[in-house]
Every structure is written in structure tokens, then in C-alpha cells.
């Protein structure tokens, strides 16, 4: 009987241990300020994105007032490459950059990504499917300046310390001359310390 009781206790402890080691469910959630700095991991995060966008938007806005870019120049976002060792949603970053520049009312933007959909709409209009007096296109405003760039990173581990460095560079190129009329970059360096995990 005592042997059976001991086996029962051991099985109970084993079951408890397995349940404690199982996957955790995130059930207790709350809204937090998106501008609040939260370094939950050593990966690229939304705080890094906000720091990059803020610096480059302010820099380009300042260049607009000091350079001969014209009144509300027409800009498009071209290729911005991810040259880091991580998966970074560059489209999310450039969309935020574009939104903030548009809201500043200093720039006009052309959406390169929508050109295919617009062409389909023009073809549909020309097919006699809509009222002739409401047909739009296909004349569009030409892009005067193109934003291109890249983001790269470098990681260094020394002892218990890990340093992560990011650098985002953007260029504004005049499409009529291929001249880079503005360029700037934002650097981010983060330091993490390895924590000892106890049992």
C-alpha cells in the first residue's frame, strides 16, 4: 500500500512538472503607449522604427526648407533594402515615413505600388463600362524625387554583453538628373546583458 501511495505521489509530481514546463498562454493583456520604450528582446522593434522615422522625417523636412526642391515636391518611395541578419518589415517602416511626410503637408507622394491596379482601372474605363464624362486617367503626375535606401546591422558579443548596431540610410534622388539631392542616416546601438536563469 505504501509503495502504491509513493508511486501515486511521484506520478502527481511528474504531471505537475510537465504541466509547468508546457507552453504558456498569453491571456492577461492590456493596451500600452506605442511610444513607450520596451526592450523585450534583442531584435529590431517598433521603438527602433519610431526613432529612425522621426530622425529622417525631421531631416528631410529641414532639407525641404533649405534646398531648392520646389514647392510641395512630388516624391515616391522606391526600393529600400533590408541588409540586416533579421527579418524586418521595411514596408511598414517606409509607410510610416511616407504618412508622416504627407501629414507635414510639405510633400506630395506617388504610390508606385498601386500603378498596376490603376492601369487595370484605366483599361476598364476605356472599355465603355463607365460614363464618358466621369472617365479618369491615364495621365498622372510624374515623380520628381525618388526615395531609396537600406538598413543594415552589426552584432558583437563580448562575455555576457551583446551589442546590436543598426544603421538606416535614405537618399532622395532627382529623377531628371540622377543627382542625390539629400541623404541622411540614423544609427541605433543597443546593449543587452545575459541573465543567469535559475531553477
The H or E element spanning position 62 is helix 46-66
Give the pLDDT mean for 125-154: 86
Distance CA(186)–CA(166), nearest Å, equals 8
Give the pLDDT mean for 112-138: 82
**Residues 6+ positions from 114 with CB-CB distance below 8 Å:** none
Instruction: Output the pLDDT for position 80.
Output: 95
For the chain, the structural domain boundaries read 41-112+142-194
Confidence label for 198 from pLDDT (cuts 50, 70 and 90): low
Report the mean per-residue pLDDT for the chain.
83
pLDDT of 65 > 90? The answer is: no
Percent of the chain with pLDDT over 90: 42
Tens digits of per-residue pLDDT, 163-184?
Answer: 999 999 999 999 999 999 999 9
pTM above 0.85, yes or no: no
Instruction: Output the pLDDT for position 174.
Output: 94
CATH code of the domain occupying 41-112+142-194: 3.40.50.10610
Amino acid at each position: 500500500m505504501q509503495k502504491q501511495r509513493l508511486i501515486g505521489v511521484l506520478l502527481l509530481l511528474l504531471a505537475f512538472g510537465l504541466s509547468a514546463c508546457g507552453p504558456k498562454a498569453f491571456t492577461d493583456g492590456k493596451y500600452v503607449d506605442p511610444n513607450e520604450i520596451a526592450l523585450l528582446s534583442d531584435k529590431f522593434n517598433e521603438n527602433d522604427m519610431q526613432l529612425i522615422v522621426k530622425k529622417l522625417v525631421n531631416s528631410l523636412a529641414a532639407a525641404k526648407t533649405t534646398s531648392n526642391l520646389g514647392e510641395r515636391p512630388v516624391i515616391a518611395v522606391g526600393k529600400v533594402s533590408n541588409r540586416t541578419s533579421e527579418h524586418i518589415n521595411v514596408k511598414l517602416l517606409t509607410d510610416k515615413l511616407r504618412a508622416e511626410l504627407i501629414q507635414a503637408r510639405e510633400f506630395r507622394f506617388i504610390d508606385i505600388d498601386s500603378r498596376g491596379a490603376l492601369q487595370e482601372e484605366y483599361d476598364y474605363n476605356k472599355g465603355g463600362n463607365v460614363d464618358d464624362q466621369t472617365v479618369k486617367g491615364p495621365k498622372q503626375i510624374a515623380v520628381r524625387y525618388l526615395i531609396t535606401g537600406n538598413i543594415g546591422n552589426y552584432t558583437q558579443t563580448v562575455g555576457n554583453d551583446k551589442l546590436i548596431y543598426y544603421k538606416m540610410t535614405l537618399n532622395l534622388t532627382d529623377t531628371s538628373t540622377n543627382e542625390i539631392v539629400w541623404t541622411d542616416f540614423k544609427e541605433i546601438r543597443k546593449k543587452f546583458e545575459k541573465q543567469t536563469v535559475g531553477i
